[in-house]
Homo-oligomer: A and B are copies of this chain.
Amino acid sequence: MASTAGGHARICLGCWDQMKMPIPIRGPLAIPFRAFGITRSKMNPNICTICERSFRRIKGKQHITATATILFADIRGYTHLSDRIDPAVLGEIVSTFQDQCAQSIWAHDGIVNKQMGDGLMAIFNFPIRIERHAAAAIGAAIDIQRRCAEVLERLGSSSGELPDKAIGVGVGIHSGEVEIGEFSSFRSDFTAIGGTVNLTSRLESQAAAGEILVSAEVAAAAPDLVGDAVSRSFTLKGIDQPVSAYALRTHA
Protein backbone atom coordinates (compact mmCIF):
# COMPACT_ATOMS: atom_id res chain seq x y z
CA MET A 1 0.00 0.00 0.00
CA ALA A 2 1.57 3.25 -1.20
CA SER A 3 -0.96 5.51 0.56
CA THR A 4 0.19 8.78 2.07
CA ALA A 5 -3.25 9.38 3.61
CA GLY A 6 -3.98 12.49 1.61
CA GLY A 7 -0.42 13.89 1.53
CA HIS A 8 1.39 14.81 -1.67
CA ALA A 9 2.63 11.60 -3.29
CA ARG A 10 5.56 11.86 -5.73
CA ILE A 11 4.42 8.81 -7.70
CA CYS A 12 0.90 7.81 -8.76
CA LEU A 13 -0.55 5.75 -5.89
CA GLY A 14 -3.03 4.04 -8.22
CA CYS A 15 -0.43 2.81 -10.74
CA TRP A 16 1.72 1.67 -7.84
CA ASP A 17 -1.06 -0.24 -6.07
CA GLN A 18 -2.52 -1.74 -9.25
CA MET A 19 0.66 -2.50 -11.24
CA LYS A 20 3.67 -1.78 -8.99
CA MET A 21 4.65 0.79 -11.61
CA PRO A 22 6.21 4.08 -10.40
CA ILE A 23 4.74 6.93 -12.49
CA PRO A 24 6.10 10.33 -11.34
CA ILE A 25 3.35 12.91 -10.77
CA ARG A 26 5.27 15.60 -8.85
CA GLY A 27 8.81 16.98 -9.01
CA PRO A 28 11.22 17.21 -11.98
CA LEU A 29 10.75 13.55 -12.99
CA ALA A 30 7.09 14.28 -13.74
CA ILE A 31 7.92 16.84 -16.49
CA PRO A 32 8.59 14.42 -19.40
CA PHE A 33 5.41 12.50 -18.49
CA ARG A 34 3.42 15.72 -18.59
CA ALA A 35 4.60 16.25 -22.18
CA PHE A 36 2.77 13.03 -23.07
CA GLY A 37 -0.41 14.13 -21.34
CA ILE A 38 0.17 12.03 -18.21
CA THR A 39 -0.77 14.41 -15.40
CA ARG A 40 -2.52 14.27 -12.05
CA SER A 41 -6.11 13.04 -12.22
CA LYS A 42 -9.10 15.26 -11.40
CA MET A 43 -10.52 12.35 -9.40
CA ASN A 44 -7.64 12.48 -6.88
CA PRO A 45 -4.39 14.49 -7.21
CA ASN A 46 -2.35 11.49 -5.98
CA ILE A 47 -3.30 9.35 -8.99
CA CYS A 48 -2.54 10.01 -12.66
CA THR A 49 -4.48 10.15 -15.91
CA ILE A 50 -3.31 6.62 -16.77
CA CYS A 51 -5.41 5.35 -13.85
CA GLU A 52 -8.30 7.57 -14.83
CA ARG A 53 -8.48 6.87 -18.56
CA SER A 54 -6.57 3.69 -19.38
CA PHE A 55 -8.55 1.19 -17.36
CA ARG A 56 -8.71 -1.30 -20.21
CA ARG A 57 -4.97 -1.18 -20.76
CA ILE A 58 -4.13 -1.57 -17.06
CA LYS A 59 -6.56 -4.36 -16.31
CA GLY A 60 -6.54 -6.10 -19.69
CA LYS A 61 -10.33 -6.16 -19.70
CA GLN A 62 -13.26 -3.80 -19.92
CA HIS A 63 -14.33 -4.27 -16.31
CA ILE A 64 -13.42 -6.14 -13.15
CA THR A 65 -15.23 -7.15 -9.98
CA ALA A 66 -13.74 -5.52 -6.88
CA THR A 67 -14.60 -4.94 -3.24
CA ALA A 68 -14.97 -1.27 -2.45
CA THR A 69 -16.77 1.23 -0.27
CA ILE A 70 -19.03 3.70 -2.06
CA LEU A 71 -19.99 7.12 -0.67
CA PHE A 72 -22.76 9.38 -1.99
CA ALA A 73 -23.31 12.93 -0.71
CA ASP A 74 -25.64 15.74 -1.68
CA ILE A 75 -27.16 18.99 -0.45
CA ARG A 76 -30.51 18.47 1.28
CA GLY A 77 -33.36 20.56 -0.07
CA TYR A 78 -31.30 21.61 -3.10
CA THR A 79 -34.19 21.35 -5.58
CA HIS A 80 -36.33 23.55 -3.34
CA LEU A 81 -33.45 26.00 -2.94
CA SER A 82 -32.49 26.13 -6.62
CA ASP A 83 -35.79 27.75 -7.59
CA ARG A 84 -35.56 30.44 -4.94
CA ILE A 85 -32.09 31.92 -4.92
CA ASP A 86 -29.90 33.87 -7.29
CA PRO A 87 -28.10 31.53 -9.73
CA ALA A 88 -24.75 33.10 -8.81
CA VAL A 89 -25.28 32.21 -5.13
CA LEU A 90 -26.42 28.72 -6.12
CA GLY A 91 -23.24 28.33 -8.17
CA GLU A 92 -21.15 29.38 -5.21
CA ILE A 93 -22.93 26.91 -2.91
CA VAL A 94 -22.40 24.04 -5.38
CA SER A 95 -18.71 24.92 -5.93
CA THR A 96 -18.07 25.20 -2.20
CA PHE A 97 -19.79 21.90 -1.53
CA GLN A 98 -17.86 20.08 -4.29
CA ASP A 99 -14.51 21.50 -3.19
CA GLN A 100 -15.00 20.73 0.51
CA CYS A 101 -16.17 17.18 -0.27
CA ALA A 102 -13.20 16.55 -2.56
CA GLN A 103 -10.70 17.71 0.08
CA SER A 104 -12.34 15.41 2.63
CA ILE A 105 -12.37 12.40 0.28
CA TRP A 106 -8.76 12.90 -0.87
CA ALA A 107 -7.56 13.19 2.74
CA HIS A 108 -8.72 9.57 3.13
CA ASP A 109 -7.37 8.29 -0.23
CA GLY A 110 -10.77 8.04 -1.90
CA ILE A 111 -11.53 9.30 -5.40
CA VAL A 112 -14.27 11.67 -6.55
CA ASN A 113 -15.60 9.51 -9.36
CA LYS A 114 -18.74 11.44 -10.34
CA GLN A 115 -20.06 14.93 -9.76
CA MET A 116 -23.64 15.73 -10.67
CA GLY A 117 -24.92 19.18 -9.69
CA ASP A 118 -25.25 19.17 -5.91
CA GLY A 119 -24.23 15.51 -5.61
CA LEU A 120 -21.18 13.28 -5.91
CA MET A 121 -20.07 9.68 -5.76
CA ALA A 122 -16.74 8.62 -4.22
CA ILE A 123 -14.96 5.25 -4.36
CA PHE A 124 -12.66 3.95 -1.61
CA ASN A 125 -10.22 1.06 -2.30
CA PHE A 126 -9.78 1.65 -6.03
CA PRO A 127 -7.39 2.46 -7.59
CA ILE A 128 -5.61 3.34 -4.29
CA ARG A 129 -5.81 0.28 -2.05
CA ILE A 130 -7.02 0.98 1.51
CA GLU A 131 -6.97 -1.82 4.06
CA ARG A 132 -9.83 -0.31 6.10
CA HIS A 133 -11.82 1.24 3.26
CA ALA A 134 -15.10 1.38 5.18
CA ALA A 135 -13.37 3.29 7.99
CA ALA A 136 -11.72 5.61 5.45
CA ALA A 137 -15.12 6.46 3.94
CA ILE A 138 -16.60 7.20 7.38
CA GLY A 139 -13.60 9.42 8.13
CA ALA A 140 -14.20 11.29 4.87
CA ALA A 141 -17.92 11.65 5.65
CA ILE A 142 -17.20 13.11 9.10
CA ASP A 143 -14.83 15.61 7.46
CA ILE A 144 -17.47 16.44 4.80
CA GLN A 145 -20.07 17.18 7.47
CA ARG A 146 -17.69 19.26 9.57
CA ARG A 147 -16.28 21.29 6.66
CA CYS A 148 -19.65 21.82 4.94
CA ALA A 149 -21.42 22.80 8.17
CA GLU A 150 -18.90 25.59 8.68
CA VAL A 151 -18.73 26.89 5.14
CA LEU A 152 -22.29 26.41 3.91
CA GLU A 153 -23.85 27.94 7.01
CA ARG A 154 -21.67 31.01 6.54
CA LEU A 155 -22.57 31.20 2.84
CA GLY A 156 -26.26 30.73 3.64
CA SER A 157 -26.40 33.54 6.16
CA SER A 158 -24.28 35.99 4.14
CA SER A 159 -26.39 35.63 1.00
CA GLY A 160 -29.40 36.86 2.97
CA GLU A 161 -31.67 35.03 0.58
CA LEU A 162 -31.85 31.64 2.19
CA PRO A 163 -34.57 30.26 4.44
CA ASP A 164 -33.75 30.49 8.15
CA LYS A 165 -32.62 26.89 8.35
CA ALA A 166 -29.00 26.20 7.41
CA ILE A 167 -28.08 24.23 4.29
CA GLY A 168 -27.17 20.68 5.24
CA VAL A 169 -25.55 17.71 3.58
CA GLY A 170 -26.71 14.06 3.57
CA VAL A 171 -24.24 11.17 3.19
CA GLY A 172 -24.76 7.44 2.52
CA ILE A 173 -22.03 4.76 2.71
CA HIS A 174 -22.12 1.07 1.77
CA SER A 175 -19.46 -1.58 1.06
CA GLY A 176 -19.55 -4.62 -1.19
CA GLU A 177 -18.73 -6.00 -4.60
CA VAL A 178 -18.88 -3.54 -7.46
CA GLU A 179 -18.16 -3.75 -11.15
CA ILE A 180 -15.41 -1.25 -12.04
CA GLY A 181 -14.57 -0.32 -15.62
CA GLU A 182 -15.58 1.63 -18.71
CA PHE A 183 -19.28 1.46 -19.47
CA SER A 184 -19.62 3.23 -22.79
CA SER A 185 -17.50 3.05 -25.90
CA PHE A 186 -16.98 6.81 -26.19
CA ARG A 187 -15.79 7.80 -22.73
CA SER A 188 -12.61 6.43 -21.23
CA ASP A 189 -12.88 7.36 -17.56
CA PHE A 190 -13.77 4.42 -15.33
CA THR A 191 -16.71 4.20 -12.94
CA ALA A 192 -18.36 1.65 -10.63
CA ILE A 193 -21.80 0.11 -11.18
CA GLY A 194 -23.95 -2.62 -9.61
CA GLY A 195 -26.29 -3.30 -6.70
CA THR A 196 -23.83 -1.96 -4.10
CA VAL A 197 -23.67 1.42 -5.86
CA ASN A 198 -27.45 1.67 -6.19
CA LEU A 199 -28.07 0.75 -2.56
CA THR A 200 -25.62 3.47 -1.48
CA SER A 201 -27.42 6.05 -3.60
CA ARG A 202 -30.82 5.03 -2.19
CA LEU A 203 -29.46 5.10 1.36
CA GLU A 204 -28.07 8.58 0.86
CA SER A 205 -31.45 9.82 -0.33
CA GLN A 206 -32.80 8.91 3.14
CA ALA A 207 -30.09 10.76 5.11
CA ALA A 208 -31.26 13.93 6.86
CA ALA A 209 -29.17 17.12 6.81
CA GLY A 210 -26.04 16.56 8.88
CA GLU A 211 -26.55 12.79 8.89
CA ILE A 212 -24.27 9.96 7.72
CA LEU A 213 -26.18 6.75 7.02
CA VAL A 214 -23.93 3.67 6.96
CA SER A 215 -25.10 0.17 6.04
CA ALA A 216 -24.75 -2.81 8.41
CA GLU A 217 -21.77 -4.01 6.29
CA VAL A 218 -19.94 -0.72 6.85
CA ALA A 219 -20.79 -0.70 10.56
CA ALA A 220 -19.44 -4.26 10.94
CA ALA A 221 -16.17 -3.29 9.22
CA ALA A 222 -15.64 -0.19 11.38
CA PRO A 223 -17.40 -0.78 14.72
CA ASP A 224 -15.06 1.66 16.49
CA LEU A 225 -16.38 4.54 14.35
CA VAL A 226 -20.06 3.62 14.63
CA GLY A 227 -20.00 3.49 18.44
CA ASP A 228 -23.41 3.29 20.03
CA ALA A 229 -25.39 4.54 17.03
CA VAL A 230 -28.78 2.81 16.83
CA SER A 231 -29.75 0.81 13.75
CA ARG A 232 -32.89 1.85 11.82
CA SER A 233 -34.73 -0.03 9.10
CA PHE A 234 -35.29 1.61 5.70
CA THR A 235 -37.55 0.68 2.80
CA LEU A 236 -35.66 1.72 -0.33
CA LYS A 237 -37.04 2.16 -3.85
CA GLY A 238 -36.24 -0.81 -6.10
CA ILE A 239 -34.91 -2.92 -3.20
CA ASP A 240 -37.22 -5.72 -1.99
CA GLN A 241 -35.99 -6.28 1.57
CA PRO A 242 -35.83 -3.51 4.18
CA VAL A 243 -32.24 -2.36 4.71
CA SER A 244 -30.89 -1.62 8.18
CA ALA A 245 -28.48 1.26 8.57
CA TYR A 246 -26.85 3.27 11.32
CA ALA A 247 -27.24 7.05 11.48
CA LEU A 248 -24.10 8.87 12.61
CA ARG A 249 -24.95 12.43 13.59
CA THR A 250 -22.07 14.84 13.41
CA HIS A 251 -23.73 18.10 14.43
CA ALA A 252 -27.15 19.23 15.61
Contacts and interface: CB of A to CB of B under 8 A. Distances in A.
A179 B238 contact: no
How many copies of this chain sit in the oligomeric assembly? 2
Interface stretch (A13-21, A190-198, A223-231): A190-198
What secondary structure prevails in chain A residues at the interface with B? mixed
A251 interface: no
Interface residues on A, range: 35 or more
Nearest to A237: B79
Interface string A180-193: 01111111100101
A62 interface: yes
Interface of A: 37, 42, 45, 62-63, 65, 77-80, 82-83, 87-88, 90-91, 94-95, 98-99, 102, 114-118, 121, 177, 179, 181-188, 191, 193-195, 197-199, 202, 237-240
A181 B37 CA distance: 24
A221 to B, nearest CB: 20
Contacts of A182: 95
Contacts of A45: 186
Contacts of A183: 91, 94-95, 98, 115, 117
A194 B87 contact: yes
